[in-house]
Amino acid sequence: MPENAPLLPLLLLVDDEASNLQLLRHILQDHYRLLYAKDGPRALALAQQELPQLVLLDVMMPEMTGYQVCRLLKRDPVTHDIPVIFVTALSDAADEVVGFEAGAVDYITKPVSPPIVRARVRTHLALARARERQRTSEGIVERLGLHVAQTDKDIEHARDHAAGLHVIRTSQYAHILGLALGMDQQALDDLLGVAYLLALTHHEKWDGSGSPHGLRAEAIPLGQRIVAIAHGFDTLTSARPGRQAWSVEQAVAYLQQQRGLHFEPRLVDLFIEQMPALLEIKQRWAEHT
């Protein structure tokens, strides 16, 4: 790795079976730095010492279950914010409830699918970055030329404005979609600010029926294609004077209906795959809060 290259995200993989760790290593090693633990106490120690950005955690382990490990991670202020994804052979809905109550953000069922593992990891790392941007009042709001709030009072004031919240949600949806697409972080940051502004006045459609230029398919800049889906989803699911908000299910059905017409098909599919992360953003920046 070049001397000035950014460090890859650090993941902690926890499983008492060496073969499972080896499989996860094979799936993730090209894009992440990896730590390994075969039991709960070692996992807790590594999490404290190394502060991984995400934990993939087996449930059924000797000495200490994954549920217990997760609860202890969430009780500790040092490790509380680290996302935990359970990787388990348990597939019953009741088991998932226990896991989510313990503090996990997601479940992956064994035997694992490599594309699903990669997609879930990307999604929750992106969501963690979105949380960090929210805490520091930086990132997307600043890139889109909005007034950057310097105090908690300023942030709360901005939250009272539906238009500002729409910009925040749309840009964060677009950011997650771009990262899931595999875009470079810096390129994504540079692209989306301009793309959002263009999307407000340009209504190009994937099938070429849009305006003002009738651009078709990949002739439409990628940033605009990404923002169009994010903007459309948030517009549909947000109430406006004289118009009720659509349900998420209705909005997803519309995106699927417009797949290949208004929106790029692969981006629609990828956007829907990120729905757990998108809904958390939607709830965090809801207009009634």
Q: What is the pLDDT of residues 248-271, one digit of tens each?
A: 999 999 999 999 999 999 999 999
CATH value at residue 89: 3.40.50.2300
Answer with the residue of higher pLDDT: 284 or 95: 284
Confidence band, pLDDT 50/70/90 cuts, at residue 30: very high
Q: How far apart are CA 16 and CA 12, in angstroms?
A: 13
Report the pLDDT value the prediction gives residue 189, as an integer from 0 to 100. Answer: 63
Residue 131 in any domain: the answer is no
User: From edge to edge, which strands make up the β-sheet containing 84-88?
Assistant: 33-37, 10-14, 54-57, 84-88, 106-109
| Residues ≥6 apart with Cβ < 8 Å to 178 | 188, 191, 192, 226
The arithmetic mean of pLDDT across residues 22-28, rounded, is: 96
**Is 20 contained in some domain?**
yes
Last residue of a domain, one of 112, 145, 178: 112
Q: 96 burial class (0-12, 13-18, 19+ CB within 10 angstroms)? A: middle
Q: Which residues contact 5 (CB under 8 A, 6 or more apart)?
A: none
Whether residue 157 is found in the same domain as residue 41: no
Task: Please tell me the chain's helix, strand, coil percentages from 3-state DSSP, rounded to the nearest 5.
Answer: 55, 10, 35
- Ramachandran region of residue 8, left (φ > 0), alpha (ψ -120 to 50) or beta? beta
Confidence grade of residue 123 (pLDDT, cut at 50, 70, 90) = confident
Instruction: Quote the CA–CA distance of 100 and 86 in Å, as a whole number.
Output: 9
Whole-angstrom Cα distance, residue 106 to residue 87? 9
CB 77 within 8 A of CB 102: no
Asked if 106 and 155 sit in the same domain, the reply is no
For the cut 90, the answer to whether the pLDDT of residue 65 exceeds it is: yes
pLDDT at 43 over 60: yes
In a domain, 117, yes or no: no
Distance CA 125, CA 123 (A): 6
**Partners of 84 in beta bridges:** 55
Shared domain for 163 and 196, answered yes or no, is yes
Of the three residues 56, 79, 112, the one that is the final residue of a domain is: 112
pTM of the full structure = 0.51
263 and 157 inside one domain? yes
Assigned domain for 120 exists: no
At residue 126, the pLDDT reads 75
**pLDDT, tens digit (0-9, with 9 covering 90-100), for 179-234:** 888 776 666 665 665 555 555 556 888 998 988 778 888 878 777 888 899 989 99
CA distance 247 to 252: 9
Same domain, yes or no, for 178 and 259? yes
Q: What is the pLDDT, as a whole number, of residue 145? A: 44
Closest CA to 78 of 47, 53, 102, 42: 47
One domain, residues 177 and 108: no
> Which of the four pLDDT bands, split at 50, 70 and 90, describes residue 75?
very high
Confidence of residue 73 (pLDDT cuts 50, 70, 90): very high
Residue type, 159: R
24 and 59 fall within a common domain: yes
Same domain, 187 and 272: yes
Show the domain range for 186.
136-284
Number of domains in the chain: 2
Task: Say if residue 75 is in the same domain as residue 153.
Answer: no
pLDDT of amino acid 285: 82
- Assess whether pLDDT exceeds 50 at residue 151: no
- Picking from 200, 173, 199, the residue whose alpha carbon sits closest to that of residue 188 is 173
